[in-house]
Amino acid sequence: MRNVSPWREPVPLDGTMGEPRARGRFGEYGGRYAPESLVEACREVDEAFRDAWTDPGFRGALARLLAVHVGRPTPLTPARRLSESLGVQLYLKREDLTHTGSHKINNVLGQALLATRMGRRRLIAETGAGQHGVATATAAALLGLEATVFMGERDIERQALNVFRMRMLGAEVVPVTSGSRTLKDATSEAMRHWVGATGDSHYCIGSVVGPDPYPWMVREFQRVIGDEARAQCAAELRTGVPDHVVACVGGGSNAAGTFAGFADTPARLVGVEAEGGAGAARGRLGVLHGCRSLFLQDDDGQITEAHSIAAGLDYPGVGPEHAHLRDLGRARYVTVTDDEAVAAAVRLARTEGIVPALESAHALAWVIRAAGDGDLPAGTTVLMTLSGRGDKDVSTYKELL
């Protein structure tokens, strides 16, 4: 029996999810741990982003791209049949309905537009399963930029379709053969490559990770999810603001963008991680890819590999702002297993006619569990970001079902 509420009172709120403190700090996390030449390149990105983000011309151009090319605003969908069986009122923020099928395009278009403004002609990106690579290749094609995407050799074998998509979109896909030949190594290699190319290339990071200003900048580009959802909730919910706001967390960009829209409300924020990729729930302080945050580590402090059925959650760490939100008690981080996620995906498919991405299914799996064990009291309103559609995962679902 549970005799202690898992909920601490939401800590308001001043300064949370605003700008980071000096030197890109969120509490004790964040920063810019990079070689000298990249510190300079990050400084240039920071300056360009600050300038662009206060320029109505840039904001307007990005908003228009998001409207006419991505399909924003995305709907807020009441999950009626599922809500009825769970006893809570669940609303889905539909990032699965965006062009390319996930929230990643919001960030990538922002960074691609910024790169153009900085006079860069090429985007460099890392990718794991290929989703961020496809989004980057898409944005590059749209804006007339080149794209070079680093991808672990093992991931290239596992994700042949996305590799083909990137090439069809005109991107160069560079196989990474070091280490475990997956996302962590692809990220290291992309950063190394950027060192020699900062003059003409922008490094387009795919989540709220990496050196300052990336965690902050990527969250701001994803804030559109939370801002739209806040307005949609105000219009549709009796209470105006949902009681709970839930999103899955890999590096943490869709969650950060969603949370940003509700940080100054009493809504309880919940980030759902994969059991095998729980940087926020189980990580320890470390430095990786230019940033101080929480990472899965072995007893010697070596950062270990994550393991999740959802490729987008297969990252051994979490963005620095999530680590800070956890310390503050402003957000809570929970984990679900692969099996729970697959079961949740089937349940959403059969009650609402939506096949979710495996990543998004993690968020739903927690909602289902929490509605069952009273963690989400009956009648509460829940906003959940459905970060992506399940097309990319059908072969995994097919193997398991």
Ligand X SMILES: *Cc1c(COP(=O)(O)O)cnc(C)c1O
Name the active-site residue from 83, 207, 293, 387: 387
Q: How far is the CB of 49 from ligand X (least distance, A)?
A: 18
Number of neighbouring beta carbons within 10 Å of residue 175: 16
- Rounded to an integer, what distance in angstroms lies between the CA atom of residue 331 and that of residue 336? 17
315-330: b (≥16 Cβ within 10 Å) or e: bbbbbbbbbbbbeeeb
Verify whether residue 387 is a known catalytic residue: yes
- Rounded to an integer, what distance in angstroms lies between the CA atom of residue 45 and that of residue 290? 14
Q: How far is the CB of 56 from ligand X (least distance, A)?
A: 28
Q: Which is nearer to ligand X, 89 or 100 (CB)?
A: 100
Query: Exposed, middle or buried, 157 (CB in 10 Å: 0-12/13-18/19+)?
Result: exposed
Q: How far is CA 98 from CA 73, 157, 229, 348, in A?
A: 9, 27, 15, 19
Name the active-site residue from 83, 102, 104, 201: 104
Q: How far is the CB of 196 from ligand X (least distance, A)?
A: 27
Verify whether residue 40 is a known catalytic residue: no
Q: What is the DSSP string of 15-37?
A: TTTS--BGGGEETTEE-----HH
Look at residues 253, 290, 323 and name the one whose alpha carbon lies nearest to residue 42: 290
Q: Which is nearer to ligand X, 182 or 198 (CB)?
A: 182
- β strands within 160-283, DSSP E: 172-176, 201-203, 244-248, 268-274
Q: Which is nearer to ligand X, 32 or 104 (CB)?
A: 104
Q: Which is nearer to ligand X, 103 or 244 (CB)?
A: 103
Q: How far is CA 301 from CA 288, 298, 316, 382, in A?
A: 12, 5, 13, 37
Q: How far is the CB of 29 from ligand X (least distance, A)?
A: 16
- Rounded to an integer, what distance in angstroms lies between the CA atom of residue 297 and that of residue 158? 25
Residue type (1 letter), 1: M
Q: How far is the CB of 129 from ligand X (least distance, A)?
A: 7
Q: Which is nearer to ligand X, 89 or 251 (CB)?
A: 251
By CB under 6 A, name the binding residues for ligand X. 102, 104, 131, 207, 248-255, 312-313, 357, 359-360, 387-388
CB 153 within 8 A of CB 183: no
- Rounded to an integer, what distance in angstroms lies between the CA atom of residue 131 and that of residue 318? 18
Unique residue bearing structure tokens 């470390």? 286
Q: Which is nearer to ligand X, 159 or 254 (CB)?
A: 254
Tokens of 249: 């967390």
Q: How far is the CB of 360 from ligand X (least distance, A)?
A: 6
Look at residues 255, 293, 287, 251 and name the one whose alpha carbon lies nearest to residue 271: 255
Q: How far is the CB of 359 from ligand X (least distance, A)?
A: 3
Verify whether residue 340 is a known catalytic residue: no
Q: Which is nearer to ligand X, 89 or 133 (CB)?
A: 133
Name the active-site residue from 93, 95, 126, 273: 126
Which of the residues are catalytic? 104, 126, 387
